[in-house]
């Protein structure tokens, strides 16, 4: 609707990757461009941000880490973009009081080193000027083709030295050397981790680095052959820290509830195992100690009320 005659009705859904689509990882990256294109005004960005929070709150999610890349649009500077997202999160605190929302601004690898430096400088400036407790870390993601991780090490170190946690997409591609480089650099959580194997997997297991698993995302993008063969199964069997995520619930046409149901069915898990899987994820979320205790109390209250 935003584009009027520039796009027809069917094109409104070009960003959705359904179960009938068989796409390559590179084709999946292109889909995210549509969503980015639809949030280039303050009004649309506020609407999108609140819509995401509202939908997760409706699922009884009690903790959410949003990710978005600060960007310059025709109507907003990067600073205004970031401020709009945080302003909306603040406004949602009273509307949806049962969910804690934090933000991990993203570094898009495809945009290069200079933009990464600009974004981290912007993030740190925003935190300093606004005393914001909403920004808890940074995310490194985006299309990694034609980029090298070493280009981003300095800026990630700057973020880490200033108290921000690092959630890095690692092992999305079969590149043992880059995975090893990222592990040696250090990170707080791994996004996807699909192709971590051999000595790199040994390192991850030994250091107990939590992994964010996105079942439907990996299946639709062709990096996992099936739900049953997803690497979550091995990690869960090894009792490694792992959490189930949606990646982007709009693009992949999913919900967290759906992902948990798929996880339960694909790996024959019990309700108790799903409950504990979610509860343990509190340990490696980026909330502060007081917030983590609040979340654990919510879990315990749920278990008591449901005789779990």
Q: What is the mean pLDDT of residues 229-254?
A: 90
**Contact present, 70 and 81 (Cβ < 8 Å):** yes
On whether the CB atoms of residues 295 and 287 are closer than 8 A, the answer is yes
Span 272-292, mean pLDDT? 96
* Burial environment of residue 304 by CB neighbours within 10 A (0 to 12, 13 to 18, 19 or more): exposed
Is residue 266 within 8 A of residue 145, CB to CB? The reply is no
User: What is the pTM (predicted TM-score) of this model?
Assistant: 0.88
Query: Residue 171, by phi and psi: left (phi above 0), alpha (psi -120 to 50) or beta?
Result: left
Q: Mean per-residue pLDDT for 96-125?
A: 96
Please report, rounded to a whole number, the percentage of residues in the chain having pLDDT higher than 90.
Answer: 74
Q: Which residues are catalytic?
A: 172
pLDDT at residue number 125: 94
More confident residue, 34 or 48: 48
Q: What is the pLDDT of residue 1?
A: 34
Express each pLDDT in 146-197 by its tens digit: 899 999 999 999 999 999 999 999 998 899 999 999 999 999 999 999 999 9
**Where are the chain's structural domains?**
32-141+151-170
Say whether domain 32-141+151-170 belongs to CATH 3.20.20.140: yes
Cβ neighbours, 10 Å, residue 143: 18
Has residue 4 got a pLDDT over 90?
no
CA distance 277 to 211: 12
Mean pLDDT on 122-126:
95
């Amino acid at each position: 609707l935003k584009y009027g005659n520039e796009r027809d009705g069917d094109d409104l859904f070009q960003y959705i990757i359904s179960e009938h689509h068989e796409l390559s990882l590179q084709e999946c990256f292109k889909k995210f461009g549509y969503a980015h294109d639809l949030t280039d005004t303050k009004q649309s960005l506020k609407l999108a941000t609140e819509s995401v929070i509202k939908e997760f709150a409706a699922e009884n999610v009690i903790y959410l880490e949003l990710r978005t890349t600060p960007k310059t649009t025709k109507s907003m500077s990067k600073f205004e973009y970031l401020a709009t997202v945080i302003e909306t999160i603040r406004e949602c605190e009273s509307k949806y009081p049962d969910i804690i929302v934090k933000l991990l601004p993203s570094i898009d690898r495809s945009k290069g080193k200079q933009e990464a430096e600009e974004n981290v400088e912007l993030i740190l400036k925003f935190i300093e000027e606004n005393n914001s407790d909403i920004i808890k870390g940074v995310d490194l993601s985006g299309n990694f083709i034609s980029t090298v991780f070493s280009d981003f090490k300095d800026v990630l170190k700057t973020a880490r030295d200033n108290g921000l946690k690092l959630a890095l997409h690692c092992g999305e591609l079969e590149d043992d050397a880059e995975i090893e480089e990222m592990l040696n650099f250090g990170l707080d959580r791994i996004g996807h981790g699909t192709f971590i194997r051999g000595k790199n997997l040994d390192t991850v297991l030994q250091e107990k680095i939590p992994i964010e698993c996105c079942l439907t995302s990996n299946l639709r993008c062709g990096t996992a052959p099936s739900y049953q063969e997803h690497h979550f199964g091995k990690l869960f069997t090894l009792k490694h820290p792992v959490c189930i995520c949606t990646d982007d619930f709009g693009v992949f046409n999913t919900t967290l509830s759906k992902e948990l149901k798929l996880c339960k069915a694909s790996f024959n898990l019990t309700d108790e195992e799903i409950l504990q899987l979610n509860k343990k994820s509190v340990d490696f979320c980026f909330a502060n100690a007081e917030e983590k205790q609040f979340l654990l109390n919510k879990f315990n209250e749920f278990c008591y009320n449901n005789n779990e």
